Amino acid sequence: MPPLEDASMGEEEFGVDNAILDHGKIYLNILAKTVRDTIPASTLMWKDVKKKDIELILNRMEIKFDYPRSDALLIDSIEQSMMAYLWDWYNIMQNHFTKMGGKRDMAFIKANPYKNIPFDQWNILCDRFNSQEFEKLSTQNSENWSKQLYSPAQGSSTMISQMKAKGNLETGELMSPIDYFKSHHLKLSSKDAHSNSISAQSELWDGASFAESVVGQEQKGLGALPRLKSIGGQRAASTGQVTETIATLKQQLAEKDVEHARQIDETQRQMAEKESENQCRLKETQRQLNEQNRMLQILIVKVGIEIPLPSPPEL
């Protein structure tokens, strides 16, 4: 995998090409937040992401969405989206580093991390952004972007959804791929851009057949991304699984009740033992005081000293 800093996606452009269902954006937004909550911000390369973190993200997404974990192509697509979101997060933090002053005041930058990024992870990122290696790579990336023949400007929605929106709503006919190409590839300023555009137009397929070859025939309730459980679709767990889960929870609750009762009994027993011990100490102290008083009286009798009785307290 390439290092994260090789990517230069906009905040609304990454990973959205798979959002074919109506709730595809919901899935992608939740996936992006889960990635940022799970993977440490100081992760510089995708290969450094731990497998257990990827599994944790998939497990958290499975709580809200239905998707087959056995589908290797789907899981690979989801992991590609994870990587894109991590790249974008990395770029956002780089922009924060630049806006805060960059290399001019590293102490100030390190004391003001992006949002809730832990200081130790933010310090790693600052050292990375301040390195000569990163500066060289950023310069090379800027040169590469400036040499692109086309600048896509389709935003956060998918190509198919835009072709549908700009097509014939009554017949359901999609927008012409040629018209779509003209309207979304804005940078035709280079000397080869026009000829490349004409060549690409001559090789385009029919719009409907092209769309079907990419996303397949559209069917209600189906699509490239998992379905949100709260919106509809087949439930992830059967009735038997739900019953088993409830039984397991009840058993765990009963075990906790037993443990709680045992702890209460143990606490009461310890308190009773301490109370008995305190009573014994009190009796022993009283016995010692009585003994001392008796010895004192004997001594007084032997010496013949009269000690007046204390006067009664005033009322």
pLDDT, tens digit, 9 for 90 and up, residues 77-110: 888 889 988 988 988 998 999 888 888 888 899 9
Lowest-pLDDT range, 1-10, 152-161, 247-256? 1-10
pLDDT of residue 57: 92
Q: Which of 80, 75, 115, 78 is nearest to 97 (CA)?
A: 115
pLDDT of residue 76: 86
pLDDT confidence tier of residue 65, bands split at 50, 70 and 90:
confident
pLDDT, mean of residues 155-168: 71
What are 111-138's pLDDT values in tens digits? 999 988 999 999 999 998 989 898 898 8
Q: Which of 213, 297, 221 is nearest to 22 (CA)?
A: 221
| pLDDT over 60 (residue 9) | no
pLDDT, mean of residues 34-48: 90
What are the backbone dihedrals phi and psi of residue 110, each rounded to the nearest 5 degrees, phi first?
Answer: -65, -25
Looking up tokens 């995998």 gives 1
pLDDT, mean of residues 281-292: 88
Looking up tokens 């001019």 gives 104
Q: Which amino acid is at 247?
A: A
According to the 3-state scheme, what is the secondary structure of the chain? CCEHHHCCCCCCCCCHHHCCCCCHHHHHHHHHHHHHHHCCCCCCEHHHCCHHHHHHHHHHHHHHEECCCCCHHHHHHHHHHHHHHHHHHHHHHHHHHHHCCHHHCHHHHHCCCCCCCCHHHHHHHHHHHCCHHHHHHHHHHHHHHHCCCCCECCCCCCHHHHHHHCCECCCCECCCHHHHHHHHECCCCCCCHHHHHHHHHHHCCCHHHHHHHHHCCCCCCCCCCCEECCCCCCCCCCHHHHHHHHHHHHHHHHHHHHHHHHHHHHHHHHHHHHHHHHHHHHHHHHHHHHHHHHHHHHHHHHHCCCCCCCCCCCC
Comparison of pLDDT for 238 and 175, the residue scoring more: 175
Looking up tokens 């397929």 gives 205
Q: pTM for the whole thing?
A: 0.44
Percent of the chain whose predicted confidence (pLDDT) is above 90: 10
pLDDT confidence tier of residue 14, bands split at 50, 70 and 90:
very low
Q: How far is CA 288 from CA 279, 283, 285, 291, in A?
A: 14, 9, 5, 5
